Amino acid sequence: MALPLTYNLRNVLVRWRATLATILGIALVVAVFILIQSLAAGLEQSGRNTGDPRNLMIVRKGSTAESSSQISREQLKTFGYLPQIARDGRGRPLLSADLTVLVSLPRADGNGEANVTVRGLGPMGIELRPQVTLTAGRWFIPGRREAVVSTKMAQRFAHCAPGQHFKTGGKELTVAGWFDGGNSAFDSEIWMDADEARDLFDRESYSSVLVRMMDTNAAAQFMGRMEKDRRLPMRVVPEVAYYSEQTRTSVVFKVIGTFLAVAMSVGAFFAAMNTMYASVGSRTREIGTLRVLGYRRRAILLSFLVEGGIVAALGGLLGCATSVGLQSLSVFLGWQFGTMSFNTFSEVVFQFRITPGLAAQGLLFAVVVGVLGSLLPAIRAARLPVIAALKEV
Partner 1 sequence: MPTNGAIVQIRNLSKIYAQGEIQVTALDNVSLDIGACEFLTLMGPSGSGKSTLLHIIAGIDRPTSGECRVQNIDVTRLNESRLADWRNQNVGFVFQTFNLIPVLTAFENVELPLLLTQLSRKERRQQVETALDLVGLADRARHLPRQLSGGQEQRVAIARALVTDPTLVVADEPTGNLDSHSAQEVLGVLKSLSSDAGKTVIMVTHDPKAAAFGTRTIHLEKGELIKD
Measured from the CB atom, the residue of 155 and 289 that comes closer to partner 1 is 289
Among 70-78, 83-91, 250-258, 288-296, the segment contacting partner 1 (CB under 8 A): 288-296
Near partner 1 by CB under 8 A: residue from 127, 180, 199, 286: 286
The answer to whether 331 and 284 have CB atoms below 8 angstroms apart is no
CA-to-CA dists, residue 209 to 131, 226, 313, angstroms: 18, 13, 51
Near partner 1 by CB under 8 A: residue from 119, 235, 291, 353: 291
Among 38-46, 52-60, 196-204, 293-301, the segment contacting partner 1 (CB under 8 A): 293-301
Strands in the chain per DSSP E: 55-60, 95-106, 113-121, 133-137, 146-150, 165-168, 171-180, 189-193, 208-212, 234-238, 337-340, 347-350
CB of 382 vs partner 1, minimal distance in Å: 11
CB of 369 vs partner 1, minimal distance in Å: 25
Task: Calculate the dihedral angle through the C-alpha atoms of 79, 84, 87, 92, rounding to the nearest 10 degrees.
Answer: 20
Q: Is 355 exposed, middle or buried (0-12, 13-18, 19+ CB in 10 A)?
A: middle
| Stretch (H or E) spanning 6 | helix 5-14
249 contact partners, CB below 8 Å, separation of at least 6:
43, 339, 340, 341, 342, 343, 348
Site string for partner 1, 328-367 (x = CB under 8 A): ----------------------------------------
Near partner 1 by CB under 8 A: residue from 73, 138, 296, 383: 296
Instruction: Tell whether residue 380 is a contact of partner 1 (CB under 8 A).
Output: no
Near partner 1 by CB under 8 A: residue from 3, 28, 82, 326: 3
Near partner 1 by CB under 8 A: residue from 24, 86, 297, 324: 297
| Type of residue found at 339 | T
The answer to whether 155 and 109 have CB atoms below 8 angstroms apart is no
Near partner 1 by CB under 8 A: residue from 293, 332, 334, 356: 293
Strands 165-168 and 337-340: unpaired
Among 185, 239, 183, CA closest to 208: 239
Instruction: Tell whether residue 383 is a contact of partner 1 (CB under 8 A).
Output: no
Instruction: Report how many residues bind partner 1 under the rule CB under 8 A.
Output: 23
What gap in Å lies between CA 355 and CA 103, rounded to an integer? 34
Near partner 1 by CB under 8 A: residue from 62, 91, 294, 334: 294
Instruction: Tell whether residue 5 is a contact of partner 1 (CB under 8 A).
Output: no
Near partner 1 by CB under 8 A: residue from 206, 295, 304, 350: 295
Among 1-9, 155-163, 247-255, 319-327, the segment contacting partner 1 (CB under 8 A): 1-9
Measured from the CB atom, the residue of 198 and 291 that comes closer to partner 1 is 291
Near partner 1 by CB under 8 A: residue from 131, 174, 221, 289: 289
What gap in Å lies between CA 214 and CA 219, rounded to an integer? 7
The answer to whether 71 and 207 have CB atoms below 8 angstroms apart is yes
Contacting residues toward partner 1, per CB under 8 A: 1, 3-4, 6-7, 10-11, 14, 285-286, 288-297, 386-387, 390
